[in-house]
Structure 1
Amino acid sequence: MSIIIDPDVLPPAPPVEAVSPDGILTVRRDDSHAGVYLIADYTSTSPQKVRFVRVGVDGVEVPVRGGDLAWAPGGVAVAYDHESPLGLAASWYVYPVSWAGVVGARSAGVSVTVSEPEPTRDVWIKSITEPGLSLRVRVMAWPTLEYAERQERFDVLGASAPVMRVDPWSLPTSSAQIETTTLAERLALRALLTVGTTVLVQTRQEYGREDTYWVPGKLSESMSGDAGDPHRTWDVPVTAVARPPTIDAPLRIPGRSYDDSAVLWPTYADRTATGQTYQDVTTGG
């Protein structure tokens, strides 16, 4: 059977891949989910585990979720960085950890830049625990960030000046207005915001909004038009929180869960018949 190709449809861009100068670490950009695959090859030494870290423009090492620590069967370890900054260059490194728990020397680094979202859908909302739920959305309004002071005042008899106890200011609260245009997108956004865990919100660098971990609050869904119009407007209150811990967090790759693979290969026999290795299935290599 012939395959018809529409000349007006651009083919997907190939993945951007780079290898560290020492040949240990491979970084493959995943534009479809705004993340990067990380593959460490220590087959010559076969450590028990590998620690993956990201270094940004500030020079600080940040552990990669799912790679802190990652098992290295046969000397190969895999991680997926779903929290990489967008539109800014970052570098990744790995540390081998022996069976005795000794941390080896850091590998050479690999740098790539994950693309920013397009202005028409300019915000990524990423699930930390279920990255397959992450969405790129259109935010209609996100005008205000409110930072609350934490102070206590004590008035002292006989003194005109009060005594103030001041604690660090709280992280901001905010409210965003998000538009969904189809019923499928409506369900996807609702699933993402009600999964019950922290989400990461990232947008274009020119907006001056830092990457922020949010906990969504009570949602309001409004129909924008007639009863048959699938458009919805969502008012989403959010509270900023610290980044959730990464130690021993499981490896999670968007679109590559057991549920996802079971759609194509319902049985192990179906899987083994493809001839693919675990690494092929995990990283798409």
Structure 2
Amino acid sequence: MPIIISPSDIPPDPPVEAVSPDGYLTARRDDPWAGVLLIADFPSDPARVRFVRVGTDGIEVPVRGGDLAWAPGGTAVAYDHEAPLGVSSAWYAYPIGWDGTVGARSDGAAVTPPEPVTPRDVWLKSLANPALSLRVQVMSWPTLEYGERQERFDVLGASSPVMRVDAWSLPTSSVTIETATLEEREQLLALLQSGATMLAQTRIAYGRPDAYWVPGKITETLPGPAYDPHRTWEVAVTAVDRPTTVGAPTRIPGRSYDDSAELWPTYADRTSTGQTYLDVTTGG
């Protein structure tokens, strides 16, 4: 029997956490950082775990920091800071034994990280240090310039040249970003000058697919009076391939040693809480 849904009904929010049917993998949305925390707990006590993400194309994409992740006590943690926004993805985990044997893949756990809400709203994510990642207001992103790589050979006696064409380059672009406060200014500069490859993500509907960028020339402009902290920024960016995930360390924004040291300056402070490293890492 069909189910009738009133047009006035508000659809439920997507789940913030999902557990795979076999119970081995948990995927937990981390909305403040637009990422997904992954926790794999295998009873087989593997040495390490390989985490992968699968989208609508069915292709396994290794998760940075989870390729491979150590699994003390059979539990491994990874953080997917590159998950597509606004669409559902499923995550899986492979247990890897102490002899290197790869076990059967876990069942999947799927969640949908929320996407930005306005055309100007863009995530710029640092791959090396996710805590530097920012949601920024992009005022202008008008062009993508794809460079051709061609060689021309003029042949004597022939009206047509011989052309050798290589693969087209990934695009370069110029992006205009706005900051409203001096704190935002410092944060943006720290991100752009970190030397790390960034991931740019915005709404799917705007036709700008996720892109990995290396920032180039940065131009800072004060559009108002000198006492106004408002700034606009022209940033030249070059698109590059996704950096390899092999051996990349696990980094979770807001849960580094520096972050925890603010709460627990000494090991005595930390141990007195009764929390394990897994508790601190996963927010348990």
Instruction: Output the TM-score relative to the length of structure 2.
Output: 0.94
CA contact (8 A) 1:15 1:31 kept: no
Which whole-Å CA distance do the structure 1 matches of 2:158 and 2:119 have between them? 58
Q: Structure 2: which 5+ runs fail to align?
A: 1-12
Q: Structure 1: which 5+ runs fail to align?
A: 1-12
Cα distance 1:193–1:50, how it changes in 2: closer, same or farther (>3 A)? Answer: same
| Correspondence list, 1:119-198, <5 A | 119=118, 122-198=121-197
Which whole-Å CA distance do the structure 2 matches of 1:53 and 1:121 have between them? 30
Which whole-Å CA distance do the structure 2 matches of 1:57 and 1:131 have between them? 25
| Correspondence list, 1:188-227, <5 A | 188-227=187-226
2:198 partner letter: V
CA contact (8 A) 1:121 1:136 kept: no
> What residue is the counterpart of 1:40 in the other structure?
40
Cα distance 1:106–1:57, how it changes in 2: closer, same or farther (>3 A)? Answer: same
Q: Secondary structure at the match of 2:135?
A: strand
**CA offset at residue 120 of structure 1?**
7.0
**CA offset at residue 15 of structure 1?**
7.9
| Correspondence list, 1:1-285, <5 A | 16-42=16-42, 44-119=43-118, 122-285=121-284
**CA offset at residue 14 of structure 1?**
11
| Residue-by-residue CA offset, 1:229-273 (whole Å, 9 max, x unaligned) | 010000000000000000010000001110111111100111111
**CA offset at residue 154 of structure 1?**
0.6
> What residue is the counterpart of 1:7 in the other structure?
none
1:275 partner letter: G
Moved more, 111-120 or 79-88: 111-120
Instruction: Output the TM-score relative to the length of structure 1.
Output: 0.93
Identity over aligned residues, as a percent?
72
CA contact (8 A) 1:155 1:163 kept: yes
RMSD of Structure 2 on Structure 1 (CA) = 1.3
CA contact (8 A) 1:197 1:215 kept: yes
2:184 partner letter: E
Moved more, 113-122 or 186-195: 113-122
Matched residue pairs, number?
272
CA contact (8 A) 2:91 2:109 kept: yes
CA contact (8 A) 2:119 2:202 kept: no
**CA offset at residue 160 of structure 1?**
1.9
**CA offset at residue 118 of structure 1?**
2.3
Q: Secondary structure at the match of 2:169?
A: coil
